[in-house]
Amino acid sequence: MSSDTSLIACQRHLFDIPDDVAYFNCAYQSPLLRTAVAAGEAGISLKTQPWHLKPADFFSLPEQARQLFARLINAKADDIAIVGSASYGIETALKNIALQTGDKVLVCAEEFPSNLYPVRRAVHQAGAELVTVQRPADDDWTRAVLARIDADTRLALLTHCHWTDGGLIDLAAVRQALDAHGGFLVVDATQSLGAMPLDVSSVRPDFLVAAGYKWLMGPYSLGFLYAAPHLQHGEALEENWVNRAGAQDFTRLLDYRDGYANGARRYDMGERSNFVALPMAIAAFEQILQWQPQRIARSLRLCNDHIAKEAAAWGLQAAPSALRAGHFLGLRWPGSLPPGLTDELAAAQVHVSIRGSAIRVTPHLYNNERDVARLLQVLQDMALKV
């Protein structure tokens, strides 16, 4: 992939976003690209006349999506499974990493619930210990995580950036620390992949999963799971016909087989050949690869750094730019958030999220200077009222 780091001009024309809407909430749900909508509509039309569906279609679309996702993370198609959600991928990972009494499992404070619940259950069942890394006062999550890794750390389940405010974790440094003790690394990249580069040859996760409806700009209920080569012979979360060897031959489906399809395909969810969702994801992947994640990241960082600088004049605080993902900005008010903030923003058609104690500002390439000015105006008005 090219190392071009030039800025990307506003791409609003590729989305169906009215001029009066300032949408800074991609970490909640991305809007769909027009090309993805067209691809989904074509898939719906195909389902209205299913006699046009051929057995080969059940495999060609998944393989195309698998290959494109692999390109995003510098992996191979054999390393990728198609799943229904990030939690599906986390459950698959936990099913294939044996925990024992006395093992430690590392998570960050204020972790996303779908990550915490399954790991908490797995720890309880194994008699292991859940170690929670508290939010660092200096916003340096990497330092805080590394300080808690020791000889008993069996698994670290981490995100690339914190879902509430984008606090960065240097996953490659964590991987190196875990290597010293033989620990596993499972990554939920839902809030980073597509908006910033991630290379599995550098991070070397054992499993990595990303839901597709945020920064991958795809539909809901579709995600992708990377499994490292040494973990591609494990136990699938579910048994279905499509992840078995020889499934392409519909005339022999009753020749029941114990063997699985190659690589991580054994972890594919049932009904993975979604003729509406997969074309939408493919269209989104193609656009992201054309933009290039490193260029997306640089463009969004400049936008958020500008917002952070302006908001600081009214007392709003954010983590230093070097310690947060460029596409994320968590703005914290001195004291508690003012009452009526979300109502004021919504009334002005400015859309953000409140996560924890932070106003989560997550723009994308569809945002323009007018959007930024409107966001800053509402924040300034609220600051003057406090």
Block means of pLDDT (10 residues each) for the chain, 386 residues, are 76 98 97 98 94 93 98 98 97 97 97 96 97 96 98 98 95 98 98 98 98 98 98 96 91 90 97 96 98 97 97 93 96 84 90 90 98 94 78
Domains of the chain (ranges plus CATH)? 12-33+292-385 (3.90.1150.10), 40-290 (3.40.640.10)
Predicted pLDDT of residue 344: 86
Q: Where are the alpha helices (DSSP H) in the chain?
A: 34-48, 57-73, 86-95, 113-126, 141-148, 171-179, 200-203, 277-291, 293-312, 341-347, 369-385
Predicted pLDDT of residue 251: 87
How many CB atoms within 10 Å of residue 305? 15
108 beta partners: 133
Predicted pLDDT of residue 92: 98
* Token code pair at residue 218: 């795809």
Write down the pTM of the prediction: 0.95
Cα–Cα distance measured from residue 115 to residue 58, given in angstroms and rounded to the nearest whole number: 30
Q: Is 23 helix (H, G, I), strand (E, B) or coil?
A: strand
Task: Name, in order, each residue with C-beta under 8 angstroms of 322's C-beta and a sequence gap of 6 or more.
Answer: none
